[in-house]
């Protein structure tokens, strides 16, 4: 079965990743408006009854605003831990809601899904490991700091989708008020380019080559060009293991991963 992974959107204005295999799909986060998100999924040949689940990482609007509409339109269950479902008030809105305990593993069609806890200022945020057709995909955004669980989840992943939210110097010199700077840089905020690069270099040294997507970039405290350059240079200084790197852009579909093909290169601006 051929695998395709599509970054439909990534950033504070909306996040959504589609994993597709054998005519079936799995959506991680649905933080894009339904008038945009549902057609984007359907254009990738995933229609009604072909989406096995909509996985939610946490209750913030940029990760779930389109979840109810996509679930109803494509007849797919929304899946999250109990705390997230309650915080998002989704049980009252949807006919198909499934609870998945943090740290547990479930099967959705051909997809084996395991969640893992991450640090962020939400009630019970998680990342996901997806295993399908002999491949492993790890997804972690809104990551306040590196943790053993995140390091373990990245081990052996063929595709590592990891937050690279901000450049610390841009953040400190930027327009955010002090309390916002403290939140972003804090242990329950967002992962910096520097921290992301260190984790990715560690993953490469441990398990060999991988494809990397930098995700959830700040529009104020980072840029695709800066994140790509900084993380690439930092990884190359830390390890000689080869890797491919791409950036998942805000507000529109961007990166696509198909095993055996090079990562698509983006026009950065």
Nearby residues of 7 by Cβ (< 8 Å), 6 or more positions away: 17, 161, 213, 215, 248, 249, 253, 254, 255, 256
Element (H, E) at 132: strand 126-132
Q: Can you give the pTM of this predicted structure?
A: 0.95
* CA 127 – CA 137 distance, rounded (Å): 11
- What does the pLDDT look like over 66-91, one tens digit per residue? 999 999 999 999 999 999 999 998 77
Predicted confidence (pLDDT) at residue 117 exceeds the cutoff of 70: yes
- What does the pLDDT look like over 26-61, one tens digit per residue? 999 999 998 999 999 999 999 999 999 999 999 999
Query: Domains of the chain: which residue ranges?
Result: 3-257
Element (H, E) at 39: helix 34-42
% of residues, the chain, pLDDT over 90: 91
* DSSP reduced 3-state for 71: helix
% of residues, the chain, pLDDT over 70: 97
Class of domain 3-257: alpha beta
**Higher-pLDDT residue of 95, 136:** 136
Burial 158-188 (b: 16+ CB within 10 A, else e): bbbbbbbbbbeebbeebebeeeebeebbeee
* DSSP reduced 3-state for 184: helix
Q: What is the DSSP letter of 254?
A: -
* CA 139 – CA 157 distance, rounded (Å): 10
């Amino acid at each position: 079965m051929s695998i395709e992974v599509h970054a439909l959107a990534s950033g504070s204005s909306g996040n959504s990743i589609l994993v597709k295999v054998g005519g079936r799909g799995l959506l991680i986060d649905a933080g894009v408006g339904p008038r945009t998100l549902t057609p984007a999924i359907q254009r990738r040949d995933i229609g009604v009854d072909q989406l096995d689940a909509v996985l939610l990482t946490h209750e913030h609007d940029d990760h779930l605003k389109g979840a109810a509409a996509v679930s109803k339109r494509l007849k797919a269950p929304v899946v999250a831990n109990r705390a997230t479902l309650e915080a998002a008030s989704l049980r009252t809105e949807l006919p198909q809601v499934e609870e998945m305990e943090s740290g547990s593993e479930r099967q959705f069609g051909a997809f084996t899904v395991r969640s893992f806890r991450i640090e962020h200022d939400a009630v019970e945020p998680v990342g996901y490991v997806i295993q399908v057709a002999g491949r492993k995909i790890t997804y972690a955004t809104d990551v306040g700091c590196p943790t053993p669980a995140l390091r373990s989840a990245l081990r052996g992943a063929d595709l590592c989708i990891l937050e690279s939210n901000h450049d610390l110097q841009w953040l400190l010199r930027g327009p955010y008020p002090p309390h916002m700077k403290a939140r972003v840089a804090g242990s329950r905020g967002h992962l910096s380019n520097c921290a992301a690069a260190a984790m990715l270099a560690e993953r490469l040294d441990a398990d060999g080559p991988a494809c990397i997507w930098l995700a959830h970039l700040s529009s104020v405290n980072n840029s695709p060009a800066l994140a790509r350059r900084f993380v690439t240079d930092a990884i190359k200084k830390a390890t000689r293991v080869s890797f491919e790197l791409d950036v998942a852009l805000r507000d529109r579909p961007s990166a696509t991963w198909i095993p055996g093909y090079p990562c698509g290169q983006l026009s950065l601006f």
